[in-house]
Amino acid sequence: MTPAARLSATIEVLDDIIARRRPAADALKDWGLAHRFAGSGDRAAIGSLTFDALRKRASSAWIMGDESPRAIALGMLKRERNFNLAAIEKLTDGGRFAPSPLSEDERARLDTADVSSAPAWVAGDYPEWLDPYLTASFGDDRAEEGAALAARAPVDLRANLIKSDAQKVAAELAEYHAQPTRWSPTGVRIALGSDAKAPPLQSEPGYLKGMFEVQDEGSQLAALFAAPEGGKRVIDLCAGAGGKSLALAALMHNRGEVIATDSDKRRLAPIYARLERASAKCVKVLTPRGKTDVLAEFDLSADLVLVDAPCTGSGAWRRNPDAKWRIRPGALEIREREQAEVLDRAARLVRPGGRLAYVTCSVLDNENGAQVRSFLSRSKSFSVILPDEVISALGERAMVFGKAARLSAEGILMTPRTTETDGFFVSVLRREG
């Protein structure tokens, strides 16, 4: 396919996503099935253009004065790909499989329009209804924080300490220019250009041998800040596919017990193969069975309970840019109720003197600090461990990290803009007496 044909396909996919409010991955898959002539390189390029358009949807529409899929795609070429007017005109010459030529208005806007006078939600590329929530989190910095969440994310890997370390993994992946991450002692990062194809890491010998897992540096830090200890009992209450269970087991050097469970057994399906590949033998998976409480015998017994809470995922917008345009206020309210419920379930499992680590991949205070404050009002036996104490797990990097992250009375907030990670909130609490 020509670059112009790929742009036409991107507009077609965007129309499907916006009109039917469906996940980008589903729309791209259906497009590929309906256009089997497109090769893997074409599909990857169309996917990259689509996700870039979704990242810059609000600002692209502002530039073009139009919210149509075509306008968003054209505006993205200017905003994200830095194409000049001549380059965009070349892609829209009206030829076979190419988009129709630019109108005079489109040409003028692409030549001169910018977002310098745009409101924060446009400059930050997030839904307008979320502006008060992001104001509560970031104040006047919300546009810059939103823009950072609209950028393309790197690929982060976590070295499996049971089998390897960050230096060995970086050497194993030298062809991808892999480098140690800024904060996590187990992290390795692969930077990606605006149109770069993600490397086939799951086909790498090191991955197949269990040397590393794909995991954002912020998620790695969440596990590190929870401070799991070898020989102790840890419960991962919202384990899902097992990313943090694996990280906890590695930090514990396979000593002790990590109990991984989730309210939805379908989310646990991938964990078994991952545990085997990583040789994480200290992890025990408890699958929910109807109304049976599979954790009933563990009340007041856990040294650490990790709650990787269900949330809006606003901190992961770099990786799932379509999600921010599908979220609605009702969904936020549902997540807030789920978070309160899971915190209350977790509390009964923590032994006196034990810890509860509450984690979200959200940047919204409703899901973060406000949830912790509400929990403390219900659970008088818990108190927040001061963030300065929590981040001391970083050793000599702690001071610089403390200046980069947002530390509050409730916990630690990481964002792409300040810590160069996904958006993560971590609060570590201790049960007194």
Per the annotation, where are the binding residues for S-adenosyl-L-methionine? 262, 308
Check if the beta carbon of residue 98 is closer than 8 Å to that of residue 330. Answer: no
Q: Which residues are documented as binding site?
A: 262, 308
Q: How far apart are CA 31 and CA 8, in angstroms?
A: 12
Question: Hey, how many other C-beta atoms are within 10 angstroms of the C-beta on 300?
Answer: 12
Beta-bridge partner residues of 429: 356, 384
Q: If DSSP codes are grouped into helix, strand and coil, which group holds residue 189?
A: strand
- Examine the residue annotation and report whether 238 is marked as an active-site residue of this protein: no
- Amino acid making up residue 100: S
CB neighbours (10 Å) of residue 398?
A: 16
Residues 6 or more apart whose CB falls under 8 angstroms from that of 281 comprise: 254
The SS3 call for residue 181 is coil
Burial of 77 (0-12, 13-18, 19+ CB in 10 A): buried
Residues 288, 294 contacting (CB under 8 angstroms): yes
φ and ψ at 21, to 5 degrees?
50, 50
Return the residue matching tokens 């988009």.
99
Annotated catalytic residues are 361
